[in-house]
Amino acid sequence: MLFDRIAANDVDRQLLTPQFSSELSPAILATLARTIAGLGKPAGFVQRGKHASDGVTTYDFAVTFAAGALTITIGIDDASDLIARYYLRRTTTSPNSSGYDSRG
């Protein structure tokens, strides 16, 4: 799973579009890995949405941890099936609020 690979700071760049691979610098990848590592092991991972635009299908996930929550957005290029986008955002929503699955 891409989430685990990013958390380990070890992404298989063959899974990324050439443009996204060039944008995902070692420094950005290290920052993403530190952000994930600082939250501990995921307690819940729930798909929250899916939409398509400009040749990319985007999936939104709510991820909960004992130490907080993240929203992760992954964009898949429709033509190549490669990852074209990956956004990670800390959320202020409580892990036990509506819409999050904290069962693990």
Looking up residue 65, the CATH number of its domain turns out to be 3.10.450.590
Domain membership flag for residue 96? no
Sequence-distant (≥ 6) Cβ neighbours of residue 18 within 8 angstroms: none
- What are 41-93's pLDDT values in tens digits? 899 999 999 999 999 999 999 999 988 899 999 999 999 999 999 998 988 65
Q: Are 40 and 17 in contact (CB under 8 A)?
A: no
Count of structural domains within the chain: 1
DSSP 60-90: EEEEEETTEEEEEEEEEETTT--EEEEEEEE
Residue numbers of the domain that contains 20: 2-91
Count of C-beta atoms within a 10 Å radius of residue 96: 11
For residue 101, pLDDT beyond 70: no
3-state DSSP assignment of residue 51? strand
Domain membership flag for residue 22? yes
pTM over the 0.85 mark:
no
Q: What is the pLDDT of residue 95?
A: 44
